[in-house]
Amino acid sequence: MLKLSNVNAGYGKLGVLWNVSLEVHSGEFVALVGPNGAGKTTVLRTISGIVNPAGGEVRFMNQKINGLPVQQIMRMGISFVTDDGCLFSGMTVMENLMMGAYTVNDKEKVKNSLDSIFELFPRLAERKKQFAGSMSGGERKMLAIARGLMSDPKLILVDEPSLGLAPKLVLDVFKTLKDLTTRGVTILLVEQNVNTTLKIVDRGYVLEQGSIIQEGSSTELRENDHIKKAYLGIA
């Protein structure tokens, strides 16, 4: 579904990513983990078209997408949930959700998406008229993910969903993401919370200083000596 081949990217003259290659297959739950500042978010921004790579290639559904406008990439079926959610605080839950469907012209499809989201997130159904700015941190994360689903994406990119949340809320958000994969949603997750992440994903890549240094199944990565020492606190 998604393939990055030897991608180099950055901001102006500042290089951030170096020969990054990774793949996400349809129906998979894949994680990109690593320390803060490693370039994980830049990978997602490059996939979604916010950052144009200086070299290499990004392909989605076997079509080259690097260089395409952000909106065109979104219409192709990629949704990007940023670490801060980019919610409209002065708008209601329903209004935020409808903003997520602004590229969808089929009203029946929008209705079906809403029904599915309210089934998945009953708390949002109860708070349809509540302003996003007055919601708790966990609820806002849920709303950001739900809004990302409103365009009925083939692939959803999720950036640091645990950021700023209490441990229990982190588990709730991760459980929701896992539930999405059972419904056929393909997810590429960026996270610093390596321990919890590697318990729920199918496969993972480890990014350090802008380069992929490890890849494998979640079990393989959890048993890797470097991962144990650097991320799991196991000597």
Residue predicted with more confidence, 53 or 82? 53
The answer to whether the pTM exceeds 0.95 is no
The residues, any chain, with a CB within 8 Å of residue 101's CB and separated by 6 or more, are 110, 113, 150, 151
Using 50, 70 and 90 to split pLDDT, how confident is the model at 235? low
Give the full edge-to-edge strand order of the sheet including 63-64: 14-24, 2-11, 55-60, 63-64
Report pLDDT for 85: 67
Give the Cα-Cα-Cα angle 144, 121, 88 (nearest 5 degrees).
Answer: 30
Using 50, 70 and 90 to split pLDDT, how confident is the model at 152? confident
Averaged pLDDT, 159-177: 81
The string of pLDDT tens digits covering residues 91-119 is: 999 999 998 887 777 788 888 888 888 88
The string of pLDDT tens digits covering residues 184-224 is: 889 999 988 888 899 999 999 999 999 999 999 999 999 99
> Residue 194: which H helix or E strand, with range?
helix 194-200
